[in-house]
Amino acid sequence: MNPERPRGDRATGVLSTTFGIGVFLALLGFSAHLLLNLFVISTVDDVAQSAATEVAVSGAGPETIAMVEARALSNARVQLGAWAAKVDLTFEHDPTEQTVILHVTSAQLRLLPRFAGVDPGPPSLDRRIVVHRENTTP
């Protein structure tokens, strides 16, 4: 005699488990993208702030300021490593010569594919860092 087995709940957990894993992976990708993007932005911002401060406290006059700016940009590129190719650092002229202005642009880190339609965080970094020069006159 072969008793019939009930078919009611057999293999019903596969669909819900697959859906749960998919949602978990989507949230993990979203949060990793957001956190790494914030890390990149804060790192680039810190390196740019350091470069502008280096020029501001150097005490360089109009004849040597270009050399100091070039050295600060070179140090910044070394600190940024491979990401330096995606960062544009440009010193801007201040007519009053009382401040140092550094314009920083950086691409956004992309971990999520474009077809996901979600782009957490700012699209890119675009800032002007203004640091007052140290008084070099006695």
Within 10 A of 94 (CB to CB), how many other CB atoms are there? 13
For the chain, domain boundaries: 13-132
In angstroms, what CA-CA distances link 30 with 34, 40, 93, 100, 124? Answer: 6, 16, 40, 37, 17
Segment 83-107, tens digit of pLDDT: 999 999 999 988 888 899 999 999 8
Q: Is 0.85 topped by the overall pTM? A: no
